[in-house]
Amino acid sequence: MERLKLAIERARAEAGAVQVSPHWTPREAELPPLPLETANDGALVELLPLDPYHLEQHRIVGLHQGNPMRQSFDLLRTQVLQRMQEHGWRTIAITSPSMQSGKTVVSINLALSIAHHPSKSALLVDFDLRRPRVASYLGLPAGNSLNEVLAGDMDVNSAIIHAGIPGFQVLPTQRRVEGAGDVLASDRVSRIIGGLRSGSPDRVIVIDLPPVNAVDDVLTILPRVDCVLIVVGSGSSTRQEIEEAKRHLARFNVIGVVANMVPKSKVHESYY
Ligand SMILES: Nc1ncnc2c1ncn2[C@@H]1O[C@H](COP(=O)(O)OP(=O)(O)OP(=O)(O)O)[C@@H](O)[C@H]1O
Ligand SMILES: [Mg+2]
């Protein structure tokens, strides 16, 4: 039934406005087949469709070729990939000094942009166990998630969802995790990250995290991640908060800082 709902949603999105009678129930056989993709273990898996309208509502622009925000993320991707390649890094975490800076929006868009790269794929992991939002921003239905993997009920590779475009993989967190700090410090999380690293060397792992100044989750997980990108939301962090974040992150590989939510009047407009 879930598959049916998704197919109808997809038809709506593709056709603009398909009127579906509430009494109309197509047979499973009438549904268009979902596209297939090869998973890491060589198995063919269905590519879960993403709703372009829902994505746009949540500022996810990775599927829109002409969107100017998409170009900014492609530029960020190129810089990030160059730095990561220079050092042989494969995992990148996203954090910020304070809450609501746009970390999750940046994480998803960066991962989608990496997935568009001809020789790379991206695995986006939601390790913000206190306020997980990747699943809701992408509009993923309830299903396999990091919650099952953390509970020991599922193997990490089986929980990965292939969604939207080839090369884009997601390990969402569907429900807030109690005792997040202790969970992140556990051997199980080390093994999960180790397991993810053992995938294809062309797969970049993008990890969405909470703010670094708010909780110790970020400092707990960063020793197991290669580098970190800081997102500073214009108006959402004070200079003091930015200085505090810099102190916390001084011993890690900070790959760069993204200035997000910059008012349009301060952005240099040009043909490009
Ligand atoms: N560049 C932007 N311009 C305007 N709004 C934005 C921008 N980036 C993100 N937002 C909006 O800001 C809100 C917070 O974004 P997001 O959830 O990505 O932040 P976050 O740093 O991950 O938050 P949290 O600390 O709760 O995890 C969302 O409503 C999002 O749509
Ligand atoms: Mg977030």
Total structural domains in the chain? 2
CA atoms within 13 A on the CB side of 227: 19
CA–centroid distance, 50 to ligand 1, in Å, is 20
Q: Is residue 271 part of a domain?
A: no
What is the residue with the minimal CA distance to atom 9 of ligand 1?
102
CA angle 207, 213, 219 (to 5 degrees): 50
CA distance 257 to 157: 31
Q: Is residue 272 part of a domain?
A: no
Residues 28, 41, single domain; the answer is no
Residues 97, 199, single domain; the answer is yes
Residues 23, 56, single domain; the answer is no
DSSP-based three-state secondary structure for 74: helix
Q: What's the domain range around 29?
A: 1-33
- In tens, the pLDDT along 106-155 reads 999 999 999 999 999 999 999 999 999 999 999 999 999 999 999 999 99
Q: Is residue 162 part of a domain?
A: yes
Q: Which amino acid is at 188?
A: R
What is the residue with the minimal CA distance to atom 30 of ligand 1?
102
Q: Is residue 49 part of a domain?
A: yes
Residues 128, 243, single domain; the answer is yes
CA angle 179, 180, 186 (to 5 degrees): 95
Instruction: Report, as an integer, the average pLDDT of 184-196.
Output: 95
DSSP-based three-state secondary structure for 227: strand
Residues 86, 14, single domain; the answer is no
CA–centroid distance, 133 to ligand 2, in Å, is 6
Residues 41, 20, single domain; the answer is no
CA–centroid distance, 121 to ligand 1, in Å, is 24
pLDDT band at 1 (very low <50, low <70, confident <90, very high): very low
The pLDDT of residue 38 is 78
Structure-token match 């199980």, residue found: 188
Residues 12, 144, single domain; the answer is no
What is the residue with the minimal CA distance to atom 28 of ligand 1?
102
Task: Copy the structure tokens of residue 136.
Answer: 């809701």
Q: Is residue 201 part of a domain?
A: yes
Residues 192, 247, single domain; the answer is yes
In contact, 98 and 131? CB cutoff 8 Å: no
Q: Show Cβ contacts of residue 15 under 8 Å, excluding neighbours closer than 6 positions.
A: none
